[in-house]
A and B are shown apart, each in its own frame.
Chain A
């Protein structure tokens, strides 16, 4: 019988089938762990006297609570609070107690959980990947089934390497046509979310198909899959191809064996299908307080959308007239080398506009090293931007990197919710190209004229 990519990956990892009374038991190939959503799960294990069942399939990193400013003269990291420091130390203790490998501070492989998994070659096609983090959908770019879970389920995976799961529905999102050079994976993601809404994907695993998806790099595919959750979907997937395998060869440092069966069969049936004309997508920005309030940066604020009051925008206002106070480049959505290169293309030989603060935060130690070896950090610093240590930073704003009330932040992250980047802060989501163009212009800008 013809099967979708999702069905093939689901069946491969199925321990027991679901029944009316009980969900399926799904085996987890890779469990990623970070400091914020794991402590209470380790507490449950301790209370029950249960050990981590497969530390070899578990990988922990530190990303959310860690400062992105370097240590002071005494070697002390400038944690935002004692609680943040304690959370990092708690993860360290828990990993040591259970033999879980940890990419600790000072480890040259550390970084944002969804940047390091692929970068270290741990995320592979056909796997199930979970983490107590909704943006785990990122790893679907490799043809893995990857989704975010809550802390109770983190405990389930730590204890049993498995989860009780009902089989989700499937939706094909087919991108037709070829977009222009200024349109990135981020713009395709925002266009898709604008079309189907923040609950359009609820209950579904999305599979992205079409020539413009094949043309995306792995970085662009990760950005698109990362944003699947912003459409309400549990996961997004892209069938592996030579782009995937050669990325993995590079990450693994050797030729990895190709799996030729990870694709949707021609006659396979999805529960839903939508089509998006990629050739019509332009560089996108958000203008409201949910990610589906997205439109071309060159357009005007449409009528009747909730959230424009909070954003202090008016219906009919041209988005390019909106002044910017801050630009943030980074996060698991857009904190990879390709994203920083894109910023470099725009910032090269230009300056960040007067009065605009620009923060550039690499997604991992490796991204930082690679960017510095290409001289990108010098270019950023010369343009007037700040170059920080790796972490989640202003995407979730829980480490002290945050805006002030009233700030308007053009951000390469994933959520424009009220107060996400600090109380009273207004967030405009955009691609790295658009963010960099806006930093130079001092207002929201289409990157076209800066390339």
Chain B
């Protein structure tokens, strides 16, 4: 089986400068009663994008064409809180393919990598620069682990196995399934 590959991306940014954006903001819990993973676009940042009446707010996520702005530039510590994988699903349903911050929470990062949403950690001065230029065009090259915007070239690092899976579009479940003989041997030795 394969997952959607990620090799490179050139797109504009949407800036959400708030720090500690938790997964309850990304997708409120009342949308988690779904048993599927599609149709989550409206749920994404729902309470930032819609009033209680259902009317759209003038939030930048509503006024920006995400299909040309696929890179979310967030404040520090993005994706903290709940382990819900619905968070990267919802971000991708809205059209995002990469998230940039100075810190991205462990479980959110792990979930994103498995779905083709690239988490990119940059130094604080780079993030500050990006916050000042909302909508700037960025090129992300996962093979070279570099992002470029304006005159800047910034390197980043991605866990090597997850990077390989993304570049090749490989589902990591296949790696585990091929290791079942090792797992059986371990269990045999335990019992």
Q: Is the CB of B106 within 8 A of A153?
A: no
Kindly identify, within residues 1 to 60 of chain A, every residue whose CB is under 8 Å from any CB belonging to chain B. 15-16, 20-23, 25, 27, 36-37, 39-40, 43-44, 48, 50, 53
Q: Is the CB of A162 within 8 A of B29?
A: no
Bound Cα distance A90, B175 (Å): 28
Besides A134-B107, A151-B111, 4 new A-B residue pairs in contact (Cβ under 8 A), listed by A number: A36-B84, A81-B33, A417-B24, A417-B81
Q: Is A111 an interface residue (CB 8 A)?
A: no
Q: Which residues of B contact A418 (CB under 8 A)?
A: 24-25, 47
Q: Is the CB of A132 within 8 A of B34?
A: no
Q: Is B68 an interface residue (CB 8 A)?
A: no
Question: Which of B5-13, B126-134, B138-146, B178-186 lies at the interface?
Answer: B178-186
For A, the interface residue count at a CB cutoff of 8 angstroms equals: 64
Q: Is B125 an interface residue (CB 8 A)?
A: no
A417-B22 contact given A23-B161, A84-B33, A160-B183, CB 8 Å threshold: yes
Shortest Cβ distance from residue A404 to the other chain B in the assembled complex, whole angstroms: 11
Kindly identify, within residues 158 to 191 of chain B, every residue whose CB is under 8 Å from any CB belonging to chain A. 159-161, 164, 172-173, 175-177, 179-180, 182-183, 186-187, 190
Bound Cα distance A156, B180 (Å): 11
Query: For the side of the interface on B, what is the size category?
Result: 35 or more
Kindly identify, within residues 149 to 184 of chain A, every residue whose CB is under 8 Å from any CB belonging to chain B. 149-153, 155-156, 159-164, 166
Q: Is the CB of B161 within 8 A of A21?
A: yes
Interface centre among B76, B85, B164, B190 (most CB of A within 10 A): B85
Q: Is A317 an interface residue (CB 8 A)?
A: no
Q: Could you give 7 example pairs across A and B, Cβ below 8 Å?
A: A25-B183, A40-B36, A149-B110, A150-B114, A202-B103, A202-B106, A306-B20
CB-contact partner of A134 in B35, B81, B190, under 8 A: B81
Closest 10 CB pairs of A and B: A150-B111, A39-B35, A150-B85, A83-B33, A148-B83, A151-B85, A134-B83, A398-B29, A152-B114, A160-B176
Q: Which residues of B contact A20 (CB under 8 A)?
A: 160
A161-B183 contact given A148-B107, A198-B77, CB 8 Å threshold: yes
Q: Which residues of A contact B85 (CB under 8 A)?
A: 37, 40, 132, 150-152
Q: Is the CB of B182 within 8 A of A232?
A: no
Bound Cα distance A124, B45 (Å): 39
Which residues on B are within 8 Å of A, measured CB to CB? 1, 18-20, 22, 24-25, 28-30, 32-37, 47, 52, 76-77, 80-85, 103, 105-107, 110-111, 114-115, 159-161, 164, 172-173, 175-177, 179-180, 182-183, 186-187, 190
* Contacts between the two chains (Cβ within 8 Å), count: 165
Q: Is A65 an interface residue (CB 8 A)?
A: yes
Q: Is the CB of A290 within 8 A of B84?
A: no
Q: Is the CB of A22 within 8 A of B175?
A: yes
Bound Cα distance A37, B86 (Å): 9
Bound Cα distance A264, B175 (Å): 33
Interface centre among A40, A83, A152 (most CB of B within 10 A): A152
Q: Is A321 an interface residue (CB 8 A)?
A: no
Q: Is the CB of B83 within 8 A of A396?
A: no
Kindly identify, within residues 331 to 346 of chain A, every residue whose CB is under 8 Å from any CB belonging to chain B. none
Which residues on A are within 8 Å of B, measured CB to CB? 15-16, 20-23, 25, 27, 36-37, 39-40, 43-44, 48, 50, 53, 64-65, 80-81, 83-84, 86-87, 90, 132-134, 148-153, 155-156, 159-164, 166, 198-199, 202-203, 229, 232, 234, 290, 306, 396-398, 405, 415, 417-420, 423-424
A27-B35 contact given A150-B83, A199-B76, A397-B30, CB 8 Å threshold: no
A15-B182 contact given A40-B36, A198-B20, A415-B24, CB 8 Å threshold: yes
CB-contact partner of A27 in B25, B114, B186, under 8 A: B186
Q: Is the CB of B161 within 8 A of A134?
A: no
Shortest Cβ distance from residue B189 to the other chain A in the assembled complex, whole angstroms: 10
Shortest Cβ distance from residue B160 to the other chain A in the assembled complex, whole angstroms: 6
Bound Cα distance A163, B32 (Å): 24
Q: Which residues of A contact B180 (CB under 8 A)?
A: 53, 160
CB-contact partner of B111 in A23, A80, A152, A398, under 8 A: A152
Q: Which residues of B contact A151 (CB under 8 A)?
A: 85, 111
Q: Is the CB of A22 within 8 A of B25?
A: no
Shortest Cβ distance from residue B91 to the other chain A in the assembled complex, whole angstroms: 13
Q: Which residues of A contact B81 (CB under 8 A)?
A: 134, 229, 415, 417
Shortest Cβ distance from residue B94 to the other chain A in the assembled complex, whole angstroms: 18
Q: Is the CB of A419 within 8 A of B47?
A: yes
A423-B80 contact given A150-B111, A160-B176, A398-B30, CB 8 Å threshold: no
Q: Which residues of B contact A81 (CB under 8 A)?
A: 33
Shortest Cβ distance from residue A293 to the other chain B in the assembled complex, whole angstroms: 10
Shortest Cβ distance from residue B131 to the other chain A in the assembled complex, whole angstroms: 15
Q: Is the CB of A199 within 8 A of B176?
A: no
CB-contact partner of A162 in B106, B161, B183, under 8 A: B183
A87-B35 contact given A134-B81, A199-B77, A202-B106, CB 8 Å threshold: yes
A16-B179 contact given A87-B35, A134-B107, A152-B115, CB 8 Å threshold: yes
Shortest Cβ distance from residue B100 to the other chain A in the assembled complex, whole angstroms: 16
Q: Which residues of A contact B77 (CB under 8 A)?
A: 198-199, 202, 232
